[in-house]
Structure 1
């Protein structure tokens, strides 16, 4: 594995992600913001959109020869974020973690509240950075 995840003692805990990633490898992979669109349309709920956005991110990683094991950083942009939406957000992650090989806790991640994304109805967008040999 080219990416090692850790959470040094004394950093905020518990959180659903690691605080630090250290990667070695010669190829950097950047997956542009992925949303919850799929063949059947766009889920209307946050959990469904988080799950599908992560699936779409996995497709982008795979196209570059990477998996979530290679991810050094995730960024989640969520429309109208409030802390009371954390259960729905986490449910979306948990629903696909095993399917996608998403480490638990996740790689270092940021959850950023935004007013609007590029299209009405889109509630979440995910960006990923990875390093592979």
Structure 2
């Protein structure tokens, strides 16, 4: 049990070393961490790499706003979304976009486990629930 906690703590420290000044995962830093581990692999190397990959994935999701949209989405709107969520989460948030015509109109933004939905499809679904 204690070894598992040590492994998780070490993996989390490796993730911290993988972040740049803005708190974003840096490919250069990730490469440096992996090279250092490869030079002197610990006895539980595979487990450590799995934990590291998991925590790194979580950290990347925390710093990414997945913006789903239906219809046109301008560069200004995307920049505003990044600014809003950077301010709200008090860390740099980078937006990625994905067109989703099922939304009908509006946007859905996912940051980590948080979902902000301002789509027509969701509003129609809520209206349908309230009517029946």
Q: Which has the higher contact order (CA 8 A, sep 6+)?
A: 1
Larger radius of gyration: 2
Q: TM-score, normalised by structure 1?
A: 0.35
The structure whose residues are more often strand, as a share, is: 1
Q: TM-score, normalised by structure 2?
A: 0.35
